[in-house]
């Protein structure tokens, strides 16, 4: 049964059929489709899974590179464009991209002012991006990095996973770079964003790997997984399925407590769907989260809701908060030309 983010859980039939040709070609065909859809702004480097701005490299501008396993669409390639990422490197589904392709991306976007890598805190990603950073430096490119670890479900901060908060860090870093910031300026602001970002998610169903065709694990009717990552893994605990309002409070209490939010603080709020969650459900979750923040006297200066960092077809959601200062808000609201980052309206 599929769970739902509603205040009275419903039953819905599970569907595992997919629009695909061959599971082994899905990543490559997806990237080709994205570039075909945005042919005026994006290009794919031949023989790679690297998507770059069509006008890269921008001489005199810091390059910003992201990447990671596929299956989280629109992350990461959907966030390539002016004002955000200069390149994104895709791995296989839920698998870190190889160091040689990350290195190629560094070289491709180097505008002689250095390159910042925005890396989600998973073992494969930190290892492969670290190797690529060393390779880039040996080529004479100035390369720095930040590690995104926004998942408060993991108690030890150094071990926290990078989940939906990473796209806010990428947006802020990309905007600062677009405005002409130095490599260290961009890195320091990106790190400030990391330090002020927290996320947590729940799953009502597992996801289904295209190559396997069945869920990675089962969740009983009337249950949910609390504290999930983005690779289809289980949460840190399994509980009774709550209403949307109860789930909003559970997630927000943990996030705001870890962030140490106080009355009068300014934040941006992101309600993120995991791929199999309807916008109706997500807006119900967002609605209560915003009410709770208003009641706590926390000022929501920017709101976003959508399936922006997914886990294939998982039914679930995460909440992300970033505590803002004037510069972080300015960069978050700066214009961008990307396929998928929510536009400010």
| CB 136, CB 115: distance < 8 Å | yes
- Distance (Å, whole) CA 1 – CA 12: 6
Confidence of residue 16 (pLDDT cuts 50, 70, 90): low
- Distance (Å, whole) CA 200 – CA 344: 23
- For residue range 136-151, list pLDDT tens digits in order: 999 999 999 999 999 9
- Distance (Å, whole) CA 225 – CA 219: 8
When mean pLDDT is compared across 13-17, 255-259, 309-313, the lowest value belongs to: 13-17
- For residue range 153-176, list pLDDT tens digits in order: 999 988 999 999 999 999 999 999
Contacts of 246 (CB under 8 A, 6+ apart): none
When mean pLDDT is compared across 18-32, 33-47, 104-118, 134-148, the lowest value belongs to: 18-32
What is the pLDDT, as a whole number, of residue 6? 54
Confidence of residue 3 (pLDDT cuts 50, 70, 90): low
| CB 35, CB 43: distance < 8 Å | yes
Q: Residue range 223-228: average pLDDT?
A: 95
| CB 221, CB 292: distance < 8 Å | no
SS (H, E, C) the chain: CCCCCCCCCCCCCCCCCCCCCCHHHHHHHHHHHHHHHCCCCEEECCCCCEEEECCCCCCCCCEEEEEEEECCCCCCHHHECECCECEEEEEEECCCCCHHHHHHHHHHHCCCCCEEEEEECCHHHHHHHHHHHHHHHHCCCCEEEEEECCECCCCCHHHCCCCCCHHHHHHHHHHHHHCCCCHHHHHHHHHHHHHCEEEEEEECCCCECCCCCCECCCCCCCEEEECCCCCCCCCCEEEECCCHHHHHHHHHHHHHHHHCCCCCCEEEEEEEECECCCHHHHHHHHHHHHHHHHHCCCEEEEEEEECCCCCCCECEEEEEEEECCHHHHHHHHCCCECCCCCCCC
Whether the predicted pLDDT of 323 surpasses 90: yes
CATH number, domain 25-195: 3.40.50.10440
- For residue range 59-82, list pLDDT tens digits in order: 999 999 999 999 999 999 999 999
What is the pLDDT, as a whole number, of residue 1? 36
- Residue 46 sits at the vertex; the CA angle it makes with 44 and 52, to the nearest 5 degrees, is 25
What is the pLDDT, as a whole number, of residue 213? 77
What is the pLDDT, as a whole number, of residue 67? 98
The torsion defined by the Cα of 258, 261, 266 and 269, in degrees rounded to 10, comes to 40
Q: Residues with catalytic annotation?
A: 72, 231
Whether the predicted pLDDT of 2 surpasses 60: no
Confidence of residue 18 (pLDDT cuts 50, 70, 90): confident
- Distance (Å, whole) CA 99 – CA 133: 9
Token match 């802020």: residue?
172
Average pLDDT value for the chain: 94
Cis peptide bond upstream of 82, omega within 30: no
Q: Residue range 228-243: average pLDDT?
A: 92
What is the pLDDT, as a whole number, of residue 345? 78
What is the pLDDT, as a whole number, of residue 220? 87
Whether the predicted pLDDT of 337 surpasses 50: yes
Does the pTM exceed 0.75?
yes
Q: Residue range 193-199: average pLDDT?
A: 98
CATH number, domain 197-323: 3.30.1180.20
- Residue 335 sits at the vertex; the CA angle it makes with 170 and 185, to the nearest 5 degrees, is 45
What is the pLDDT, as a whole number, of residue 4? 57
Confidence of residue 5 (pLDDT cuts 50, 70, 90): low
Where, residue-wise, is CATH 3.30.1180.20 in the chain?
A: 197-323
Where, residue-wise, is CATH 3.40.50.10440 in the chain?
A: 25-195
Q: What does the block give as tokens for 159?
A: 């071990």
Q: Residue range 175-181: average pLDDT?
A: 98
Q: Residue range 86-108: average pLDDT?
A: 98
What is the pLDDT, as a whole number, of residue 13? 40
| CB 64, CB 170: distance < 8 Å | yes
- Distance (Å, whole) CA 137 – CA 135: 5
Whether the predicted pLDDT of 231 surpasses 60: yes
Q: Residue range 180-187: average pLDDT?
A: 98
């Amino acid at each position: 049964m599929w769970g739902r983010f509603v205040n009275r859980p419903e039953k819905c039939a599970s569907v595992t059929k997919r629009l695909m040709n061959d599971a082994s070609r899905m990543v490559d065909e997806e990237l080709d489709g994205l570039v075909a859809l945005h042919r005026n702004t994006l290009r794919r480097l031949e023989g790679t899974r690297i998507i770059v701005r069509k006008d890269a490299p921008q001489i005199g501008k810091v390059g910003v590179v992201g990447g990671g396993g596929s299956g989280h669409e629109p992350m990461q390639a959907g966030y390539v464009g002016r004002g955000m990422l200069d390149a994104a490197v895709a791995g296989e589904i839920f698998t870190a991209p190889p160091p040689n392709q990350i290195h190629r991306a560094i070289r491709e976007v180097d505008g002689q002012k250095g390159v910042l890598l925005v890396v989600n805190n998973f073992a494969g990603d930190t290892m492969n991006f670290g190797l690529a950073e060393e390779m880039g430096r040996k080529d004479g490119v100035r390369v720095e990095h930040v590690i995104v670890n926004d998942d408060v479900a993991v108690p030890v901060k150094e071990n926290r996973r990078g989940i939906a908060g990473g796209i806010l860090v990428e947006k802020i870093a990309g905007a600062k770079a677009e405005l002409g910031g130095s490599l260290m300026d961009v890195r320091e602001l990106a790190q400030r964003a990391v330090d002020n970002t927290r996320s947590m998610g729940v799953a009502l169903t597992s996801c289904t790997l295209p190559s396997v065709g069945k869920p990675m694990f089962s969740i009983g009717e009337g249950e949910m997984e609390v504290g999930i990552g983005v690779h289809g893994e289980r949460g840190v605990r399994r509980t009774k399925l709550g209403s949307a309002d109860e789930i909003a409070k559970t997630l927000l209490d943990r996030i705001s407590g870890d962030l140490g939010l106080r009355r009068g603080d300014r934040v941006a709020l992101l309600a993120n769907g995991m791929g199999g969650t309807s916008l109706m459900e997500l807006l119900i979750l967002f609605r209560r989260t915003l009410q709770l923040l208003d009641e706590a006297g926390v000022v929501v200066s920017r709101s976003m809701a959508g399936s922006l960092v997914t886990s294939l077809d998982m039914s679930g959601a995460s909440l992300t908060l970033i505590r803002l200062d004037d510069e972080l808000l300015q960069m978050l609201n700066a214009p961008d030309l990307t396929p998928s980052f929510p536009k400010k309206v």
